[in-house]
Structure 1
Amino acid sequence: MDGRLAVLFFVIGLTDMKTNDCETGCLGRTPAQEAISLSLGSTIFQEQFIGQEAYVRYDMGTSFGPFQPTVGLSVTDTNDIWVGLGATHTTRFWDRPSGAGGYAQLHVMPGVYTRGSGPVLGHPFEIRSGAEIGYQTKNGLRYGLSYDHRSNAGLSTPNPGMETLQFRVSVPLS
């Protein structure tokens, strides 16, 4: 997997911004659901499952157009650490009057990778981009399946990238 998830994030996000946000300011600041997300899942390197990862993410309580700032931290069972700051874009579907329904979310988060005894990714700068699909309850609690890819965007060789497949639970803070 290369940077296709990051490209998808920008294409969908900018299209949504043009369609829904530019009448009031394309990147206008609006309130958003602040949340903490916890994920557990598998790391994948060169198409092989190689271990487990725990991931925590904080989605800030503000959006700029369709983009919500977020910060994340992950640790693998081989002591690899990644920390980053970026944005999410969420699309809701199958909404019910109660507020429950489905959602799809894309994210892009540049960050720093520190290798423990896991794979060599080629550079300390690693961009994490991914997609999540799930269900949101009427009280804002989200359950989702997330897939992401991180790589150094060709800044150095090697640039093998690493993927994660995780189950995520997001808890609203307000």
Structure 2
Amino acid sequence: MGAVRRVRRAAGLLAAASAAAVAWFCTAASAASTSAPDLISVGFGAHDAWALRSSTDTPRRRSNDMRLEYRFGTSLLPFTDPYVRFHPWVGLEANTDGMLYGAVGILADIPVGPLILTPGIGAGLWRRGGSKHLGSAVDFRSTLELGYRFENGVRLSAYVSHMSNAGLTETNPGADTVGAYLHVPVSFVFGR
């Protein structure tokens, strides 16, 4: 009963934090003085591709991974822009085993010449489908990308990410994903 109560409490906190984050993102978007283009990001990869930690009690469930994200160009901390741009994202992730994950989070774009190093974190709600059991409907995703930014603003990135419930429940095997993203400015797609 205690585990169910912890998961319900975490889901409630996640819902409240998500609502606050969206409100804050909207406020920051209108108040910030600098922005990069908003990006539509499409990613493909291998879900549960390898185990960063060995697990004897939970076998891997490899599958194909697909991601669709909207990355806001507005900087949340404009004074850091010469060195790092913090900005929000929202997205959906699914795999061929029926897993579905909807999340919001924050990314940090760190320019290194034409390359962009992008660590990111997110929190969201997860539906298992036939995928590996991660122990909770509330899960967290950390990602590290390394990408190339073309002159027209399009970016191509390789990524590695880890998804788990961060210890909300006793069952917490986690799943690692490797893949590639194509990031396209919204203006290319919608002509804004």
Under a length normalisation based on structure 1, what TM-score does the superposition of the two structures give? 0.77
- Are residues 28 and 143 of structure 1, via their aligned partners in 2, closer, same or farther at CA, if it must alter by over 3 Å? same
Aligned pair count reads: 142
| 1:57 equivalent in alignment to 2:63 | no
* Cα deviations by residue, 1:107-130 (Å, 9 ceiling, x for unpaired): 101011101011100000100111
Is the CA contact 1:86–1:107 (under 8 Å) kept in the aligned structure 2?
yes
Once residues 146 and 73 of structure 2 are traced to their aligned partners in structure 1, the CA distance between those partners, rounded to angstroms, is: 21
2:12 aligns with: none
| 1:86 equivalent in alignment to 2:105 | yes
User: Which segments of structure 1 move beyond 6 Å, counting only runs of 4 or more?
Assistant: none
- More strand, by proportion: 1
1:111 aligns with: 124
Question: Residue 134 of structure 2 aligns to which amino acid in structure 1?
Answer: L
Taking only the aligned residue pairs, the percentage that are identical comes to 29
Structure of higher CA gyration radius? 2
Residue 62 of structure 2: SS of its match in structure 1?
A: strand
Is the CA contact 2:147–2:157 (under 8 Å) kept in the aligned structure 1?
yes
1:70 aligns with: 89
**Unpaired segments of 5 or more residues in structure 1?**
1-26, 95-100
1:136 aligns with: 149
* Cα deviations by residue, 1:58-94 (Å, 9 ceiling, x for unpaired): 0013121132010010110001000100110001112
Under a length normalisation based on structure 2, what TM-score does the superposition of the two structures give? 0.70
Once residues 73 and 103 of structure 2 are traced to their aligned partners in structure 1, the CA distance between those partners, rounded to angstroms, is: 17
Give the superposed CA RMSD: 1.7
Residue 75 of structure 2: SS of its match in structure 1?
A: strand
